[in-house]
A and B are shown apart, each in its own frame.
Chain A
Amino acid sequence: MIFGYPLLSAAIWLPILFGLLVLATGNDRNARMARIIALVGAILGFLVTIPLYTGFDRMTSDMQFVEMKDWIVRFNIHYHLGVDGISVLFVLLNSFFTPLVVIAGWQVIEKRVAQYMAAFLIMSGLVNGVFVALDAMLFYVFWEAMLIPMFIIIGVWGGPNRVYAALKFFLYTLLGSLLMLVALLYLYHKSGGSFEILDFHRMAMPSLTAQILVFIAFFMAFSVKVPMFPVHTWLPDAHVEAPTGGSVVLAAIMLKVGAYGFIRFSMPITPDASHYLAPVMIALSLIAVVYIGLVALTQADMKKLVAYSSISHMGFVTLGFFIFNAYGMEGALLQMISHGFISGALFLCIGVLYDRVHSRQIVDYGGVANKMPVFAAFFMLFAMANSGLPGTSGFVGEFMVIMGAVKANFWFAFAAASTLIFGAAYTLWMYKRVIFGAVANDHVAHLRDIGSREKLVFVILAITVLGMGLYPLPFADIMHASVNDLLVHLATPKVLN
């Protein structure tokens, strides 16, 4: 606790409270008020998380800003919150994106504005809850609860095939989550009646078989969210049908939740199983990087293309985790943050085009630069970042993961590095077809360039992407202690032999 109020609780409940307040404004006659309250809530939600960064003690890997209260005494479940150097970054990332999403949906959403804004605010709070929960059940509750607003967002404001996408999204993730629940119950009994994640980290699990089963249960939950090949198929559907804000949150935040699960649960709780199954994980990651990269190349739909590119980039993240060295781990974490900014920005760019032309097909565009020069410049920056151009944030993470992979095995690195080619190919080719050339049709001819509201969002994102690319230290150094601790933990076997 700092400044006399519980920071982490505020990060969770402030957005949720504002969300309820927005809901209370009722129908679309009060849309303006709903928007303003939502923006205030989102900005306040971001402001309360800033002390988490400034007040963070970089020297220790212990949990900080800890809050602990009894919650369900019968099952020894606590309302236990805390952040370490890893989770603090994601809380910030999530809270940072909420105002951007609210601004991005400012004029575009005309139907049921209050519900739209409220869903995003409530989800933002719930996602913060996922990142800061230190009690496994509390984590699980936030984890599942966050599906509800996303389900509604995709289903209500999404594109033509939204119902299919929303149901697919929900059921896919629920399947994984329920198996995780079984694993958590198993751990609860093995640990002698505790749901504390940190107790799970410390508890002995002498049987490799048990570890592998627990690992698989967690894998089902987290791999769906990441998403890893071959359970990635919900993502392109969900992305394509979701409204712009939904896509941004999905790509920038939701995917990180799955990867976060791996480092908070799977790896420290079942270190031996992680080592044992690492070849499988690495193989799946490389398939995602290479194969999904190629799939992205063939997409005709811009959103689908970025969705596949997200899967490919997340393949880098899981690769970085499972090569078990500091470069890989930190690179993967940086990649997560940077991918959040870049994919969010790209979806916002596509949203800008979609709002004007109502098409996501690449063939419907061409020569946009003639009509929207400012937009084309921003889009260029984010496209470059997505292909991993040095100087942008996209480069840092990928480079570190490749360095880590070289240490582990040259061929891993070789396969992973192919993304530098494929990534550049699909992103820049899409960019070329959409932006350059002669004005393709009447729709493009009537395009207006971005307004000040959109400019504001893009400027903020551009500064972050460049800043993180040129000077990644503030991001890297906050996680050092925690990453080292995690690696030490991973190197200590729990199996006795």
Chain B
Amino acid sequence: MNLLASLSPAYAEIFLLVMVSAILIVDLFIVNYTKTLTYLLVQISLLGCSLITVATHEDGIVHMFHHMFVDDLMSDVLKLLTYLSVSMMLVYSRSYLMARGLFTGEFLALVLFATLGMMVMISASNFLSLYLGLELLALSLYALVALQRDSAIATESAMKYFILGAMASGFLLYGMSMLYGATGSLDVNNVADVIRHGAPNKPLLVFGLAFVVAGLAFKLGAVPFHMWVPDVYHGAPTAMTMFIGSAPKLAAFAFVMRILVEAMQPLMIDWSGMLMILAVLSMAVGNITAIAQTNIKRMFAYSTIAHMGFMLVGILSGTLEGYGSAMFYAVVYVLMSLGGFGMIMLLSREGFEADTLNDFKGLNQRSPWLAFMMLLLMFSMAGVPPTVGFYAKFSVLNAAVQAGHLQLVVMAVLFSLIGAFYYLRIVKLMYFDAPESHEKLYIQPDSSLLISINGLAVLILGILPNTLMSVCAVSVQQSLLH
């Protein structure tokens, strides 16, 4: 009994693991291709996880499994948002995948395994558990991208994703081993203590740090480690693209927090310079290249690169303010990304992908409401008030100004001006151009309700951003107080 109680911070992970295993078995006996039961079980598991996460919340920071695992406010908040976004992604992609015969038990199980991987990443406080979570997530994602076996482009992008992802993992592991060599520990807090008080081999540390940062940049898709992003976003079935572009960004944020901020805060001078190069290049390449795209998924891929660059600006500020704003940015980005990809899937139907810019032409005449939702999402991505995307940019810029990076801020601002162009172009296509096809849109009630909630959330959070901002700031603050 005592053992069971001591496991309470990890109940959610354990529950999810049990549920996935159960779902895998149950699914064998369901022949019905709509998989309603499996789908409901998955949603129930996610709901159960949220309830458990809320119920097992404890104030302060709880370590367990010999400091492999940590439960703090930041991890709880990020996990809750992860469940939410996974669940939204499932609602959006259900009919899309069913039309393509991909809504299978494997898909659902892989999604849950990936979710489990993210949860482990979010709660890891040891390099090994961080890596474990990362690989569980990455392997599930490779498989998800490759799920559409008969599509050459999907297979190709899965291949690219796998090879480059494996290389990034290699970088990361190599860097971690260097850090281990320099500090003699894999524990996040120990590493920090050794760097702060001991006299570790500084060149070795920085050498390891460079590899870790390169590995992280790969996973985040920051320039110059971004090559996989456009191909994978473009090639994968849209549902998978949405998945890659949403919840994993939250996990990646947690990863950056644990490894750079918690373990290597004393080396801030070093990593913040590295991140600055990554951030500026990402914003430049992402925003400029996005202009040239005709495929909207590819455009979103470059826009993701730019957004990740912006998020890095928050982290490299190196203050609580900065970390909080980066977390806010990540959360807001996930919300917008879900909406954007959701819209592509909503407009797609059997045998037709609405993934080129031209498919958005004249949307206002075909469905004014959907066009309005997309308008909100696009203005939010561009960072125009009163949408929430503005406050995300605002809080990051504010942190950077506070940290004294005024030139960086001006650059970020100019690149987001360039970025505004391609978001505006979508609005232009929807509102100013005549539609290319007048085919009636068949829209599932569940996903159309969700897109309305998603779009309006972008607006309402923009009018009243205080709560979400404070939640992010407070949770980062609490988890960094030792």
Q: Do A and B bind each other?
A: yes
- A148 touches B (CB below 8 Å): yes
| Known A72-B469, A182-B406; 12 more pairs at CB < 8 Å | A74-B473, A75-B398, A75-B469, A144-B386, A144-B390, A152-B427, A155-B431, A166-B432, A167-B424, A174-B420, A186-B406, A188-B398
A146 to chain B minimum Cβ distance, whole angstroms, is: 10
7 closest residue pairs by CB, A with B: A141-B385, A178-B413, A155-B432, A185-B401, A144-B385, A72-B466, A145-B386
A-B contact pairs, 24 of them (CB 8 A): A26-B368, A71-B466, A73-B466, A74-B470, A141-B386, A144-B384, A144-B386, A148-B379, A152-B427, A155-B431, A155-B432, A156-B431, A166-B428, A166-B432, A170-B424, A171-B421, A178-B414, A178-B416, A182-B406, A182-B410, A185-B401, A185-B409, A189-B401, A189-B402
Q: Pick from B394, B402, B410 the residue with the most CB of A within 10 Å.
A: B394
- Measured CA separation A27–B365 after assembly (Å): 10
Cα–Cα distance between A389 and B385 once the two chains are bound (Å): 42
CB distance from B107 to the nearest CB of A (A): 38
Count of A-B contacts judged by CB separation below 8 Å: 89
For A137, what are the chain B residues with a Cβ–Cβ distance below 8 Å? 394
Interface flag for A181 (CB, 8 Å): yes
The smallest beta-carbon distance between A70 and chain B, in angstroms, is 8
Q: Are B410 and A163 in contact (CB under 8 A)?
A: no
Contacts of A350 in B (CB 8 A): none
Q: Cβ of A18 < 8 Å from any Cβ of B?
A: no
Assess whether A74 is in contact with B428, with CB atoms less than 8 Å apart. no
Q: Is the CB of A181 within 8 A of B413?
A: yes
Chain B residues 371 to 423 lying within 8 A of chain A, measured CB to CB, are: 375, 379, 384-386, 390-391, 394-395, 397-398, 401-402, 406, 409-410, 413-414, 416-417, 420-421
What residues on B are CB-neighbors of A27 within 8 Å?
368
C-alpha spacing A163/B432, complex, angstroms:
7
Q: Does A115 contact B (CB under 8 A)?
A: yes
Q: Which residues of B contact A156 (CB under 8 A)?
A: 364, 431-432
A43 to B406, CA, bound (A): 46
The digit string for A144-185, where 1 denotes a CB below 8 A from any CB of B, is 110110011001100000110011001100110011011001
Provide the residues of chain B in CB contact with A155, threshold 8 Å: 428, 431-432
Q: Which residue of B lies closest to A129 (CB)?
A: B386
Is B200's CB within 8 Å of the partner chain A? no
List A residues 288-308 near B (Cβ within 8 Å): none
What is the distance, in angstroms, from A10's C-beta to the closest C-beta of chain B? 17
Chain A contacts for B420, CB-based, 8 A? 170-171, 174
Say if the beta carbon of A140 comes within 8 Å of chain B.
yes
Interface assignment of B48: CB less than 8 Å from any CB of chain A: no
Contact check, A72 vs B384: say whether CB atoms are below 8 A apart: no
CA A166 – CA B417 in complex, angstroms?
A: 15
Q: B266 in the interface, Cβ–Cβ < 8 Å?
A: no
**B382 shortest CB reach to chain A, Å:** 8
Chain B residue at minimum C-beta to C-beta distance from A193? B402
Interface centre among A166, A171, A174 (most CB of B within 10 A): A174
Most buried by B among A151, A186, A188: A151
Complex contacts, B402 vs chain A, CB 8 Å? 189
Task: Among B413, B421, B432, point to the contact of A162 (Cβ < 8 A).
Answer: B432
Distance (Å) between the CB of A26 and the closest chain B CB? Answer: 8
Residues of chain A contacted by B318 (CB below 8 angstroms): none
Give the interface centre of A26, A74, A171 by most chain B CB atoms within 10 Å.
A74
Q: Once bound together, how far apart are the Cα atoms of A284 and B232, in whole Å?
A: 51
Q: Is B435 positioned at the interface, with any CB of A under 8 Å from its CB?
A: no
Chain B residues in 8 Å Cβ range of A72? 391, 465-466, 469
A residues 177-203 near B (Cβ < 8 Å) are 178-179, 181-182, 185-186, 188-189
Residue of chain A at shortest CB distance from B400: A185
Binding site for B on A (CB under 8 A): 26-27, 71-75, 112, 115, 137, 140-141, 144-145, 147-148, 151-152, 155-156, 162-163, 166-167, 170-171, 174-175, 178-179, 181-182, 185-186, 188-189
Give bound CA distance, A435 to B276, whole Å: 63
Q: With both chains docked as a complex, state the minimum distance between the C-beta of B280 and any C-beta of chain A, in angstroms.
A: 16
Smallest CB-CB separation from B395: which chain A residue?
A: A75
| Contacts known (A141-B386, A141-B390, A145-B386); A175 close to B417, Cβ less than 8 A | yes
**In the complex, what's the smallest C-beta–C-beta distance from A317 to chain B, in angstroms?**
27
For B431, what are the chain A residues with a Cβ–Cβ distance below 8 Å?
Answer: 152, 155-156
Distance in angstroms from A17 CB to nearest chain B CB is: 14
A163 to B, closest residue via Cβ: B432
**Which chain A positions have C-beta within 8 A of B409?**
182, 185
Contacts of B398 in A (CB 8 A): 75, 185, 188
* B475 CB → nearest A CB, Å: 13
With A73-B470, A182-B413 already in contact, the answer to whether A148 and B384 are too (CB < 8 A) is yes
Min CB–CB distance A193 → chain B (angstroms)? 10
Return A330 CB to nearest CB of chain B, in Å: 33
A167 touches B428 (CB 8 A): yes
Interface positions of B from 47 to 94, Cβ below 8 Å from A: none
The residue that A151 contacts in the complex, of B416, B427, B465, with Cβ under 8 A, is B427
Question: Smallest distance from the beta carbon of A135 to chain B beta carbons, Å?
Answer: 13
* Chain B residues, Cβ within 8 Å of A179: 410, 413
A151 to B378: give the CA distance in the assembly, Å: 14
CA A2 – CA B359 in complex, angstroms? 52
Across-interface contacts of B410 in A (CB, < 8 A): 179, 182
CA distance A182 to B313 in the complex (A): 15
Q: Which one, B375, B390, B397, B424, contacts A185 given CB within 8 A? A: B397
B424: chain A residues within 8 A (beta carbon): 151, 167, 170-171
Q: With CB as the reference atom, state the residue of chain A lying closest to B429.
A: A163
Q: Is the CB of B469 within 8 A of A167?
A: no
Minimal Cβ-Cβ distance residue in A for B410: A182
The distance in angstroms between the C-alpha atoms of A178 and B390, with both chains bound, is: 11
